[in-house]
Copies of this chain bind each other. A is one copy, B any other.
């Protein structure tokens, strides 16, 4: 890994090796401040999602300057990396069901506050056994499926049944609900997106009511992403947000519209795949050095930042094909790509090259890169 560092501190942005992950620190810091302000004004807690950035440096910055109360992770190994990086309050916003991973989760709870999601009655027994073995308390959120069609039990009684079992299990603490509508985040139309979240809010409120009737209070009612946080965040039902992409923004989120039909623009692009033209043998196209291994294209091709005269149209493993109708691109010319989906794109890199005023200011390791267990 060490030989593959694409830059050195102080280097001009023009000299950075490509492809690499470029972070515009000014834009990043403005995004973080903006979300921090929203969270504070609405009396919320916020756990910036480490599934997005996978960086202990970023997690620490968010807690110092971005008003976050801890981190969200999707995987136990990701959580371990964040705890090793200094974080002491981790929510694994996902189910952990394999025996070896439950053991690792319980061991981690010796070193940090650990919260995990549950959607299975048998899993409660397994978590309880591991917590007792390590002499720790694992806090549990019942995950309810509020429309994403992924993990989680149905809102209402099924959630109450699991919550009751958790509340009676040794080594566990019932801590609330995980209620994330992942499917709504990238719905471009505002009314459609709003309706999906209103359903999620109603399902969540109803479940909270049923839990209360059983004497169970929800310390944490968690959910929301960059596409919908204003809805959950002003609902008075959710009290803890889990946004990630807002700090970077990606091309797909920028296709999402607000209530006036305008593109969402409260956050700026701060993260780019930096690429160079590596072949220019055709008048009407250029080949760049960022292909499938430099980014995920699951949500479409990347968009070239700040350029309307050239267009990234397709890619193969190590190459991107750029339409260049005016034949303006030159060999070794550098371009900034806005990835269509930042999370899996970050996951292929070892380093953030952090830049300000045209110079490299910091190199941050992608601490939890590939931590998928």
Contact A332–B279 (Cβ < 8 Å) = no
| A349 interface residue per 8 A CB criterion | yes
B-side contacts of A297, CB under 8 Å: 298
Q: How far in angstroms is the closest Cβ of chain B from A313? A: 11
What separation, in Å, do the CA atoms of A152 and B371 have in the docked complex? 38
Chain A stretch 7-60: residues in CB contact (< 8 A) with chain B? 15, 17-20, 51
Given contacts A3-B80, A4-B370, A318-B75, contact A344 B17 (CB under 8 A): no
Chain A stretch 99-156: residues in CB contact (< 8 A) with chain B? 100-101, 119-120, 122-123, 145, 149-154
- Chain B's closest residue to A74 (CB) is B318
Given contacts A150-B319, A347-B348, A348-B347, contact A278 B370 (CB under 8 A): no
Chain A stretch 187-217: residues in CB contact (< 8 A) with chain B? none
| A309 interface residue per 8 A CB criterion | no
| A357 interface residue per 8 A CB criterion | no
* Binary contact readout A331-359 vs B (1 if CB under 8 angstroms, 0 otherwise): 11000000001011001111000000000
Neighbour of A152 across the interface among B19, B281, B321, B341, CB < 8 A: B281
| A98 interface residue per 8 A CB criterion | yes
Contact B119–A293 (Cβ < 8 Å) = no
B-side contacts of A328, CB under 8 Å: none
B-side contacts of A373, CB under 8 Å: 4, 6, 17-20
Show 13 A/B contacts (Cβ-Cβ < 8 Å), sorted by A.
A1-B370, A3-B77, A20-B373, A51-B318, A97-B276, A97-B278, A97-B279, A97-B332, A120-B279, A150-B279, A150-B319, A292-B296, A297-B298
Top 10 closest pairs, chain A to chain B, by CB: A151-B279, A292-B344, A74-B318, A293-B347, A17-B373, A4-B77, A317-B343, A153-B281, A293-B344, A95-B278
Known: A4-B372, A152-B281, A317-B343. 20 other contacts (CB 8 A): A1-B370, A3-B80, A4-B370, A15-B100, A20-B373, A51-B317, A74-B318, A95-B278, A119-B279, A145-B281, A151-B278, A151-B287, A292-B341, A298-B298, A318-B372, A347-B348, A348-B370, A348-B372, A350-B370, A369-B370
